[in-house]
Structure 1
């Protein structure tokens, strides 16, 4: 065989190997409640999500963090937030907090495996220095915003001190042409543009964390008008936001079909935390809300879908997994190996793709640094130390006559430790701590073991130099 022919064969083999890697689209909804999708709640108009979920695998025990930045930390790094210093809340717009740069992110890992990587949407993992921003953390392109929340139409973000500025970027450039366009439409259009221009000979990884359905409650009227039977305006708007998100997902998946990418693709859909029942979301029948350690704050609505990769479909998967598991799972799906022995995540490839058993029997809900509170899971058992947070009840669907803003606020007192059997009591009605002190002691010992590896929370002090007035009215890196 001639050298030229050997090189041609080898080149063809490499190209084919690369092309055969599955495409991955990872969609994150923001603040979506457990009960805020049509496949659980017939009040919701989500035909696209319902179709994908029912034809794929609905994840019934897929856990996330109680808040935005910590969950995104998990998706990007495979590490629990109490191992990265992001355990005590969200990254404030004017704080020098960030996903540690010593960690290899999932897009960086997938790029090593031959993937084109694109991000569209909410970052919320730090931006005080350019090295903490998406295109420096593994993404080929980025369209979106750095902060935790902003106006859906103007894309202006305001911090707690009242400083206001544009927070919308294309790669590293402030993007000023989106004023007046609803973010769900912007993000869907950009995702479609990426799909249309993608080189099919390369595998695609697209991370698509939508702004929807985080506050402020804003949506074009046509979506709110789909819920005229709902009396409460906030709930009407919130539901309309969910439907706008559903439409965006439908438009994206339709384009994936048209371009032939759906034939070899895994689509992941997950929320970043439970719904804020004190705004307009709903987590029934789960207890609690966003920002709490209850199941309503930490058990995430999610599913996976694929036309060709899943060996078992159309069922409810009850296997335990955590947000940190997505990283090693996607790496295995892409044909790579996880070489980080310290990573908290474990690959759930066999469970998700083959319908096998979960590789996880325990996880950390969270271990806070600033307050004496934590929660862990071991088998069926869940131990909560200290206060789970505000909003501790089973919030009904929002309706006239109740004030969601104060419903079940944090005016309750709790014992030092609470114990629940989540398998027998998934709605957390029965604290077993007094009945089974020996199990509490066992769980406390496990908690202490987890705590030994924790790191201090990152400093969340406000930095005046972050003010957009120093950057032509834009929230921009360059101040740490």
Structure 2
């Protein structure tokens, strides 16, 4: 082969990763934002100042085709199980405070697997949202060794209350720590990094921020940085937020919350450097779904929001950084997402899958290592929506409140904003996608979480959300 041809092939297949067979296992930190939209980060053109997330994108690998579910609990469950939430009845809605439901205990969570290969410390900090009615659903019974945060979603950022009761915990105990929840979670993460790094064993930390999810509440210092004027009225309370921390406008308050989140992420990254473990620590950052409509977030140039399978609801900002292995400043268009987190991390640390429950996600490590430029696959988005490297199909009889009269097909490479339905122009592609989606539509569980509002009337939360 001629030298020019060899050089060409090297450049085409040049790996994102510089790899060795005999490296120590990395520390792993998964940082999950709550309702952060595609257009809410600076590197996607946001007006919000996110210097630390931008720096993470510059130093890490941007995954620009990273998919999640359009609502919270299903994404969180899928990232910890590697399986579609249809497998355990958690696709259609989240787990509300009044619901006696949790992820089936036969499901194997990621930290359970990591415990078998030397990860002695496995912490979850922040929003759990995967079951709180029974002790069997508690994080410390799902493979984690430490829990600090809240069981429910939409807690008050300052009082940490939900449904009139304190929902803030340290392992099994109530925590009376005072402060803004974003700050408290950041402080706990930094303290854990310091302790775990001193012990020497690799650790796993899942930092599940509740920002910038409603209620829209921000610290005054962050509001002032966004132009807040205390002499002017605060935004109206039509949605019944009724909490402290509201700015002059919804957008101003939301921006302040994202800014605070960004600072917290920056402090976590700084802690890795200060404890000399940055190079061999994997940091994976993404959002659990698209922006909540009407709450200040942005889908950028993508169509749709949270609650919808349009790209704006399910395609989120995502970055992976691993200084000793992954070349910074690169962009990957590999179709990947929440269900791939577990199999990819297990592949990295050398865990062989022996579960009786087959994973739906795949390891994208071959792409990271440069062994494959892309892995072609179908990725199910739920509600009869399917995406692959080029195409996206949404069936009219399954769309979540999108009022489609007909099935729609989009060529995402040329039309990422889903403006032009090309089903008629590409009948063979449409037929192939319709056939491919059938296997996903046939996934069913014996029961599923009931509609969100069912059981709310008359519900009284347990004292300090203690699990009996």
TM-score normalised according to structure 2 size:
0.86
Q: How many residues align?
A: 424
- In structure 1, C-alpha distance between the alignment counterparts of 2:130 and 2:436, rounded to whole Å: 29
- In structure 1, C-alpha distance between the alignment counterparts of 2:280 and 2:146, rounded to whole Å: 22
Report what 1:400 is aligned to: none
Would you say the 8 A contact 1:294–1:388 is kept in 2?
no
Cα deviation per residue 1:197-231 (whole Å; 9 max; x = unaligned)?
11442001000010111001111011122222999
Cα deviation per residue 1:409-451 (whole Å; 9 max; x = unaligned)?
x6xx422311111112111000112333443333222222222
Report what 1:167 is aligned to: 167
Report what 2:366 is aligned to: 350
Q: Structure 1 pair 353/128, CA: closer, same or farther in 2 (3 Å)?
A: farther
1:465, CA displacement in angstroms? 10
Report what 2:260 is aligned to: 244
Cα deviation per residue 1:286-329 (whole Å; 9 max; x = unaligned)?
0000010000000011101122121x321221111021000011
Aligned residue for 2:279, secondary structure, equals helix
Would you say the 8 A contact 1:19–1:202 is kept in 2?
no
- In structure 2, C-alpha distance between the alignment counterparts of 1:39 and 1:125, rounded to whole Å: 31
Cα deviation per residue 1:119-145 (whole Å; 9 max; x = unaligned)?
110000011111111111011110000
1:195, CA displacement in angstroms? 1.2
Would you say the 8 A contact 2:290–2:312 is kept in 1?
yes
Would you say the 8 A contact 2:40–2:300 is kept in 1?
no
Would you say the 8 A contact 1:70–1:86 is kept in 2?
yes
Which of 125, 139, 148 is 1:143 aligned to?
148
Aligned residue for 1:219, secondary structure, equals coil
Confirm or deny that 1:321 pairs with 2:364. no
Would you say the 8 A contact 1:33–1:281 is kept in 2?
yes
- In structure 2, C-alpha distance between the alignment counterparts of 1:103 and 1:360, rounded to whole Å: 27
Q: Which runs of 5+ in 2 are unaligned?
A: 1-20, 230-246
Q: Structure 1 pair 457/351, CA: closer, same or farther in 2 (3 Å)?
A: farther
- In structure 1, C-alpha distance between the alignment counterparts of 2:375 and 2:448, rounded to whole Å: 31
1:353, CA displacement in angstroms? 4.8
Report what 1:365 is aligned to: 381
1:43, CA displacement in angstroms? 1.5
- In structure 1, C-alpha distance between the alignment counterparts of 2:30 and 2:78, rounded to whole Å: 13
- In structure 1, C-alpha distance between the alignment counterparts of 2:278 and 2:25, rounded to whole Å: 13
CA RMSD of aligned residues (A): 2.3
Which of 6, 21, 30 is 2:34 aligned to?
30
Aligned residue for 1:117, secondary structure, equals strand
Q: How does 1:320-339 map to 2 (within 5 A)?
A: 320-339=335-354
Q: Structure 1 pair 112/420, CA: closer, same or farther in 2 (3 Å)?
A: same
Which of 83, 87, 90 is 2:87 aligned to?
83
Report what 1:292 is aligned to: 308
- In structure 1, C-alpha distance between the alignment counterparts of 2:126 and 2:23, rounded to whole Å: 26
Report what 2:52 is aligned to: 48
Report what 2:76 is aligned to: 72
Report what 2:269 is aligned to: 253
Report what 1:57 is aligned to: 61
Aligned residue for 2:437, secondary structure, equals helix
- In structure 2, C-alpha distance between the alignment counterparts of 1:216 and 1:355, rounded to whole Å: 45
Would you say the 8 A contact 1:213–1:238 is kept in 2?
yes
Report what 1:414 is aligned to: 404
Cα deviation per residue 1:326-376 (whole Å; 9 max; x = unaligned)?
001111111222223621011111223548434342110003xxxxxx201
- In structure 2, C-alpha distance between the alignment counterparts of 1:92 and 1:449, rounded to whole Å: 29
Aligned residue for 2:49, secondary structure, equals coil
Aligned residue for 2:386, secondary structure, equals strand
1:176, CA displacement in angstroms? 2.3
- In structure 2, C-alpha distance between the alignment counterparts of 1:348 and 1:200, rounded to whole Å: 30
1:34, CA displacement in angstroms? 0.3
Which of 370, 373, 377 is 2:387 aligned to?
377
TM-score normalised according to structure 1 size:
0.84
Would you say the 8 A contact 2:280–2:324 is kept in 1?
yes
Q: Structure 1 pair 379/306, CA: closer, same or farther in 2 (3 Å)?
A: closer
